[in-house]
Amino acid sequence: MANLYEQIVSKEKLISVIGLGYVGMPIAVAFAKKARVIGFDLNKEKVELYKKGVDPTKEVGNEIIKDTTIEFTSEESDLKKAQFHIVAVPTPVKEDHTPDLAPLESATRLVGRNLTKGSIIVFESTVYPGVTEDICIPILEKESSLRFGEDFKVGYSPERINPGDGVHRLENITKVVSGSDAGSLEIISNVYQLVVEAGIHKASTIKVAEAAKVIENSQRDINIAFMNELSIIFHKMDIDTKEVLEAAATKWNFLNFHPGLVGGHCIGVDPYYLTHKAEQLGYHSQIILSGRQINDEMGKVVADNAVKLMVKNKTNVYDAKVGIFGFTFKANCPDTRNTKVIDIIKELGEYNLKTLVFDPEAEAEETKRIYDISLADEEQMKELDLIIIAVDHDFFAKQNISYWLEKLNDKKIIMDLKGILDKNSMGTAGVSYWRL
């Protein structure tokens, strides 16, 4: 095991990446430039797309997928060829907001079944402190019949990739790494240094690395919740929240957060992992869960204000036609899983409002499969009683005023959740304009 790093560099030993999604795919592509890589995913259709040079995640692009040397596979036995395994599978929450470790446990069993002596397994999935050592290691031992510490070692290196972000990539984000002992930590650190230009931070223990990851997104969640609460308060005071934040941001140490929907696989999920572990230890979170409650209710806040706007503008609410622009969980990303836009649509449905959803970036098949929503064509977005711009895709941000006006009926009501339109221009055009 001591020579594993050198063997990877010399391409004698292989790296495997388990889970080829928005996190795993960029990792696999980066390592394939320096080493031999096996890219594994259970989704055979996705694997076939990768083999054809098609990137369904749009994270790295078709051209890069065509040129990469990754050995794509959905056959788990191929993992026996590798001795450095990186597990990058989703860690969602259940409906009751408790951690759903099933995907991680399944991936760990899969790796265990194909584990060879001298291997290192690094987990990148977000978990609460203790999961790697208390849950994953026993599974690996059981499935492999190998002994932890003697036959194999583990590490944890939390993913920090930001889907849809062309600036903050794997290569230029400092990588936190940890290992089950000094030897494994050194090897893991050296391996990641092959692709991470920003540098490596060696955590003292696996639990420290796990905790560091889970608080990163919890911190963001709390700060966004504060902004959302401010937005609710300022609307009651008839004060524009964006203007308040612009004024406050002139102070050097003001934190640059904004109100909005908090969806996706990290910010809206990770806090529940931390509070779950805290509950097991007899502590009930106050700040973290309060922030989660505020953010989870923003879909209802938007829908209620939509109805108020229509009533104020003498629009017949019953059977009104609402155009939702944007459905993905974040801008310039095709992923609709865990989107909070669905909360707005459900709440509007309670008022019997008809919604048309247009999103030039979203995966139409995924949207239909998960939410039973058929995305509308751009041409269908017309004669609308209300427009809700829910996601700030570049496609929407570059449109001029006439683009939006021609889609509305004579009432001209626009809710701009991301504040991409100019407020004064909207007023001049006679638009009843609302933003978070």
Please give the span between the terminal C-alpha atoms of the chain, in angstroms, as a whole number: 54
Contact present, 196 and 173 (Cβ < 8 Å): yes
Residue tagged active-site, from 266, 320, 356, 421: 266
Distance (Å) of CA 188 to CA 3, 24, 29, 329: 12, 17, 18, 32
E strands, 296-431, are: 321-325, 354-358, 386-389, 413-416
Q: What is the DSSP letter of 99?
A: B
Contact present, 1 and 183 (Cβ < 8 Å): yes
Contact present, 360 and 378 (Cβ < 8 Å): yes
- Among left, alpha and beta (phi > 0; psi -120 to 50; other), residue 338 is left
Report d(CA 370, CA 349) in Å as an integer: 17
Name residue 432's beta-bridge partners.
413
CA-based nearest residue to 70, from 155, 249, 78: 78
Helix or strand (DSSP H, E) at 49:
helix 44-51
240: tokens are 């524009």
266 included as an active-site residue: yes
Would you please indicate which residues are annotated as catalytic (active-site) residues?
266
